[in-house]
Amino acid sequence: MKIIIKICRIIIGLLFAFSGFVKAVDPVGTQIKFEDYFHAMGLDFLAPYALFFSFLMNAAELSIGIMLIFNIFPKRNTQAAFLLMLLFTPLTLWLAVAEPVSDCGCFGDAVKLTNWQTFGKNVIFLSIIILLLIFRKLNTSRTSLKTSIFAGAIIIFSAFIFQTYNYLNLPVIDFRPFKTGTDIEAASSIPEGAKTDEYKTVLYYKNLKTGEKQKFDIENIPYEDTLTWAYDTTITELISKGYEPPIHDFVLNNLSGEDLTQEILKPKGTKFILIMRKLDDAYADLGEKTKEISDFCAEKDIPLYGFTASDSETIRRTQNALPGNLILCTGDKKMLKTMIRSNAGLIILKDAVLTHKFHHRNIPSKKELHSL
């Protein structure tokens, strides 16, 4: 039995370590997921603290997992894992039933699970943790208290440092659709012959005698019985989800509302894109780098775009300070955050392939840009 308990401890440790690691790689992604949860639960006042919760949860999962693997404070960490699963399991059941959020984000962007798959996974692992708690006397550690405290402190500290590095730079591993090497045009396209969404049109008629509304298929609408039924409304329902490309929200418009998406993707050659999600903050963070990039693009005759999700008032206030050769486009805030986590950041496209991504802290100098 002791061998079984050891295997169970390592399995739970690996689960928590993997879950914590793939989220700690991208703490902003976990922040976005927390914001989704808070909005769905009507807890919008907590949204400003989403990044804090992201760091805390990622560090907790990663630290608990590593310490369980190496048998450091096994009983305490098993209890901590139990408390987390006690929170996650009913939460994922609610997500599966109500579907206020389509993806729980339990493994970040690395592994996508449906809400029902996540709930099933949580039930299985919660059962294993309960087994560990029942036989906790078989789960002992030979490591001294002093060594355990030192090792635990190093693990927790390292978890926060790792997240901080990924937050202040770009994620060391990019699990998102806009990773380096992605052909955005291909990743946005639906392959020939791929399954498309299937919809069904239903019509609601009101019973003139009872006042109740009833749903009818288009084939059996009671159009002849005008004394009993009166048309109310038509609804198109999705009955089968078709193929959805990895990138499905890459749409950019110029300030006149004209769609420039194909202009950005179709022509061959190099394009520089400054992601300036919050335009005024991004411009302040870029500083002189904006002029350096602009001058380089002008010298090399490279199109320079700026993508923002700012409102019209912010754009109007900041636009005149931007370089004349920068073509400003507006896009969805979440899409821009998926493209690059930093505000601001630089993306380089070559023939629609994303070849380079830079956090604004790490944007190359004009001299370094020549060697790219």
Which H or E run contains 235?
Answer: strand 229-240
Number of C-beta neighbours around residue 25 at 10 A? 22
pLDDT digits (tens, 9 = 90+) for 90-99: 999 999 999 8
pLDDT digits (tens, 9 = 90+) for 198-210: 888 888 888 888 8
The three state secondary structure string of 137-148 is HHCCCCCCHHHH
| pLDDT tens, per residue, the chain with 372 residues | 889 999 999 999 999 999 999 999 999 999 999 999 999 999 999 999 999 999 999 999 999 999 999 999 999 999 999 999 999 999 999 999 998 888 888 999 999 999 999 999 999 999 999 999 999 888 888 889 999 999 999 999 999 999 999 999 999 999 999 999 999 999 999 888 888 888 888 888 888 888 898 888 877 888 778 778 888 888 888 888 888 899 998 999 999 999 999 999 988 999 999 999 999 999 999 989 999 999 999 999 999 999 999 999 999 999 889 999 999 999 999 999 999 999 999 999 999 999 999 999 999 998 899 888
pLDDT digits (tens, 9 = 90+) for 248-259: 989 999 999 999
- All structural domains of the chain: 2-168 (no CATH), 198-240 (no CATH), 253-369 (3.40.30.10)
> Sign of dihedral through CA atoms 70, 75, 78, 79?
negative
pLDDT digits (tens, 9 = 90+) for 345-359: 999 999 999 999 999
Residue 184: exposure state from Cβ atoms within 10 A (0-12, 13-18, ≥19): buried
Nearest of 127, 101, 140 to residue 334 by alpha carbon? 101
DSSP assigned state of 46: G
Q: What is the DSSP string of 49-113?
A: GHHHHHHHHHHHHHHHHHHHHTTSSHHHHHHHHHHHHHHHHHHHHHHHHH-SSS---TTTTTS--
Nearest of 306, 308, 285 to residue 294 by alpha carbon? 306
Question: How far is CA 188 from its chain centroid?
Answer: 17
Does pTM top 0.75 for this prediction?
Answer: yes
Nearest of 359, 363, 364 to residue 26 by alpha carbon? 359
- Asked whether 23 and 61 are in contact (CB, 8 A), the reply is yes
How much is the pLDDT for 270? 96
- With tokens 């355990």, the residue in question is 148
d(CA 326, CA 293): 10
d(CA 30, CA 26): 7
How much is the pLDDT for 370? 87
- Asked whether 129 and 12 are in contact (CB, 8 A), the reply is yes
For the chain, report the end-to-end CA distance as a whole number of angstroms: 59
**Tokens for 147?**
């060594």
Q: What is the DSSP string of 167-189?
A: HHS--SS--STT-TT-BHHHHTS
Mapped onto helix, strand or coil, the DSSP state of residue 325 is coil
d(CA 131, CA 137): 11
- Asked whether 302 and 321 are in contact (CB, 8 A), the reply is no
Sheet holding 326-330, edge to edge: 253-254, 326-330, 304-308, 270-275, 345-350, 353-359
d(CA 128, CA 11): 9
DSSP assigned state of 153: H
- Asked whether 101 and 36 are in contact (CB, 8 A), the reply is yes
